[in-house]
Chains A and B, each alone.
Chain A
Amino acid sequence: MEDTAIIDLYWKRDERAIEETDRKYGNYCYTVADNILRSREDSEECVSDTWLRAWNSMPPQRPSILRAFLAKITRNLAFDRYRARSAAKRGNGTMEAVLDELAECADTSGNWDAVEAYEAKELGEAIGRFARELPDKEARLFVRRYFFSEATSDIARRYQMTENNVTVSLSRIRKKLRKYLTEGGFM
């Protein structure tokens, strides 16, 4: 079924919308969640939560790209679940590695919490601009690693690159991001 037809089902409050979404994007959303959670049970629950969030979001929203819309919901839910789960313990999986890498670009001054909501929106927009300004190949790597939390080996396989090449490229991108955020007044 076409995405527009699925969205129409949501807007008509037809429960077949969830069936069709699960049929078309179930595996996709599961992968997005599993990249973060690395747990089958948690990922499946996350996907179910995604359908509920989508049901509550449409209407009023009418996403132009349903696939990306669902990916963002799944990613957000999975990350929340990850944070709740890792509050007690910290592992050494892909997600930890991604966060460690991003910590290189993060501000550690501690005054972030005071303006969190506003800054988060601004930061999201800045990240969006930064990603758009990257060369195409780097933008792809950036999205796969820091949006989808894919392992470097998977990215290398996906884009026919060596893992070392991916790692080096990501390192350069992080340096650019740090400079970009510094110049943008986020740090």
Chain B
Amino acid sequence: MKAEDLYKAMEGIDDELILRSEHRIETAREEEEEAERRKKRKAKNSRARFHRYFTIAATTAAAVFLLLMARELAGARGLKSAKSSNLTSGTVAQSQDDQYMAEAMEEAAAEEEAMPETFSESAEDTVQDNDSVQSEEAAAPVEAEVPAEESVQDKSLAEDAGKTAVDLLGEMADEYVALEYISAEDEAKGGARTVPDYTKAGEAALSAAFESGRAEPSFLAKKGKPVYYVYLTRKGGQVNKATFYENEYISLDSIPGVVMKISHAEYEAVMQLFR
């Protein structure tokens, strides 16, 4: 057998294989093109994935921000409402709806008192010289509202002035039946809670503290360690807990996620209740 015979015998190769070897030219190019397409597709997917994750992250961040804002607002309203229900005397509103209702009624009453003054002053102003009154017109309603609010608060404080915590608890007898407090240190040791002997001055200090507090998201606030706990027991046995922190923050478990930052002076005044 010569090399020529072997070469001639190559005709025994299948037609399909011969054709396939022809097609490999295209296939090789196709593979190259496919690799190129894969690369582009991968890059595109990569960009799409980044965009998707970025969108999700941004949406989540926005949602969390809105949630925190909502909590902060709800916390501020809840605390204000709780104050109006004499929380400092050891009471907490039964629900957010009750708090909002009470607040709305209080604001409506304040507006009713303020409106006549505002309108009467405005009416008088319109009768007076227009040139000299323009600046006063803008200031008049504000000045009228502030005394109106103050008058409502004064009225409320005046009504509460003669009452002790026990009295106030008595008024809320349908909701709260007990108020106790304990230091965080004592609670950690398993100590007993104390039933406070409130004074009117103490109640006023606590009320003022809550009133002046500034709501902050709990996880952002540098509130420090808990110092005192106040337990408010409902008639049904449900207990609400207020926590006082070392860095002059107060929180209520009925308003989760929000703490109230109060001034040092007011914090000291409040803490007098528990020392």
Contact = CB atoms under 8 A, between A and B. Distances in A.
B25 to A, nearest CB: 6
Place the interface of chain A in its size category.
Answer: 35 or more
Contacts of B158: none
B19 A140 contact: no
B20 to A, nearest CB: 7
| Residue of A71, A116, A127, A146 with most chain B CB atoms under a 10 A cut-off | A127
B124 to A, nearest CB: 96
B174 interface: no
Interface in B14-45: 14-22, 24-25, 28, 32
Interface string A92-135: 00000011111101110000100010011001111110011000
Interface string B1-19: 1111111111111111111
Interface stretch (A4-12, A44-52, A60-68, A162-170): A60-68
Nearest to B32: A160
B17 A132 contact: yes
Interface string B114-140: 000000000000000000000000000
Task: Report, nearest first, the 7 A-B pairs whose CB atoms are least far apart.
Answer: A124-B12, A68-B15, A128-B12, A103-B3, A123-B9, A102-B3, A143-B21
Interface of B: 1-22, 24-25, 28, 32
Interface of A: 63-65, 67-69, 71-72, 75-76, 79, 83, 98-103, 105-107, 112, 116, 119-120, 123-128, 131-132, 139-140, 143-144, 146-148, 158-160, 186-187
Contacts, number: 107
Given A106-B1, A158-B24, A158-B25, A124 B18 contact: no
B191 to A, nearest CB: 83
Nearest to A64: B15
A144 B21 contact: yes
A186 B11 contact: no
Given A65-B19, A147-B18, A158-B28, A102 B12 contact: no
Main secondary structure of the interface of A (DSSP, over half): helix
A68 B11 CA distance: 10
A136 B2 CA distance: 27
Given A106-B3, A143-B18, A159 B13 contact: no
A187 B5 CA distance: 13
B12 A107 contact: no
B8 A76 contact: yes
Contacts of B1: 106-107, 112, 119, 123, 186-187
11 contacts: A64-B15, A67-B18, A68-B16, A69-B15, A105-B6, A112-B2, A123-B9, A146-B10, A147-B11, A147-B13, A148-B21
